[in-house]
Chains A and B, each alone.
Chain A
């Protein structure tokens, strides 16, 4: 298949699709029905991508099991069993059925919540080891961090109202202004990246390129 087919057609598709959305928003509201159809297609196509994780799991962990990778293959087998169990129960009984809900609440929910929270332990170690006033910049980070830590403790905030005022100033002046500067910079970057992707100058979304495709 020629490079035109493999590379240029996808880039052209990106251009046309994004142009339809921009045209509908700024110039031609008559394209509303086309945009609605494309949005619904976008939802369905995104739904198809939700299966990628499962396919990758099967490819990687299936290999671990077939090769009997030392110390790993029983865990890989268990992972695949859980994946299949979730899928079968969810698809056959229903994604909001009592059975699936039980499965979700007894395992995935508890695991997810605990994994997120376990980072708190590492943060404690990080606070102790890394939050040191080694220079002016880290001292500023430390001072602001300690003030906000104190304000976030409800009892300290109630006992020392000055902490609330200081936190309010810190959040509304340096934090918001710096975040706004970062946001404007990021927005310009996103606009530039979007435009470059539309005109085919950015081809990252195409994935791996052959030598011939890289040239053109």
Chain B
């Protein structure tokens, strides 16, 4: 029996994956070689994030959790860097960082290098500190919320916390004006709601991967999280804080690749319906 010749619909419906991947790579590389400079509109959530930090009075202490792994760095790090820049630009804000991800301490160091912290004139141990990775996720969050000194006595490099002036008068969740989280894990993002917001009502800003945003929206709607944003919106916060970086650079690539996706959806559906209405089977 001879095989039926392929119709145009068959060909459209079965484009080889190598071509699809090649198109994707072209859509990523070309806008990087020839930047277009597409505008980046500011969304309501990112504006709320910015306004919350902007409203912090001098003397506030902020807890930041570096809870993401290396896989999430390309998306979350630009947002984290821009937010640190915002915090450090404000006068008298102290930042205590902890890590619920084992890669957190090393990723935090990468972020500090990208931030170029020297330009803000901030001193480690006086204006900011990293108390390191604490295993156990929610157990760690609960322990730190109860008492940092009872949980750990050193920073992430093993230096006693007693040597640092930033930790004077800062011991539990009640001493923090704001909690900021960057994570690739639902355990962390939801765990902070359970362990800090529920017990201590600490205002909570949550930055997750774009794919995790829908699962966090109910918390935002219930007022448990002030603002849920995705790392992919880093370009917006970079513009607000006026520190353009990787986030703004990605706008062109994201636009072109998403246009490619919409085109592929259209082609796939045209092929499907074309085949269906011309009597072929999918």
List residues of A (88-113) whose CB comes within 8 Å of B's CBs.
94-96, 100-101, 104-105, 108-113
How many Å lie between the Cα of A35 and that of B142 in the bound state? 10
The DSSP consensus for interface residues of chain A is helix
List residues of B (250-279) whose CB comes within 8 Å of A's CBs.
251-252, 254-255, 258-262, 264-265, 267-269, 272-273
In the complex, chain A residues whose CB is within 8 Å of the CB of B251: 154-155
How many Å lie between the Cα of A111 and that of B261 in the bound state? 26
Chain A interface residue bracket vs B: 35 or more
In the complex, chain B residues whose CB is within 8 Å of the CB of A96: 105-106, 109, 156-157
- Nearest chain A residue, comparing its CB with the CB of B134: A43
Interface contact B268-A46, CB-CB below 8 Å:
no
A residues sitting closer than 8 Å to B (CB atoms) are 32, 35-36, 39-40, 42-44, 46-47, 50, 94-96, 100-101, 104-105, 108-113, 115-117, 120-121, 124-125, 127-129, 131-134, 142, 145-146, 149-150, 152-158, 164, 168, 171-172, 175-176, 179-180, 183
B residues contacting the other copy or chain, number (CB 8 A): 67
- Nearest chain A residue, comparing its CB with the CB of B144: A39
- Stretch touching chain A among B52-60, B64-72, B89-97, B161-169: B64-72
The DSSP consensus for interface residues of chain B is helix
CB distance from A106 to the nearest CB of B (A): 12
- Give 4 nearest A-B pairs by CB, closest first: A116-B71, A112-B70, A155-B38, A153-B258
- Any chain A CB within 8 A of the CB of B215? yes
CB distance from A198 to the nearest CB of B (A): 17
Interface contact A152-B258, CB-CB below 8 Å:
yes
- Any chain A CB within 8 A of the CB of B43? yes
List residues of B (210-245) whose CB comes within 8 Å of A's CBs.
210, 213-215, 217-218, 220-221, 232, 235
CB within 8 A of B41: which of A104, A128, A158, A183? A158
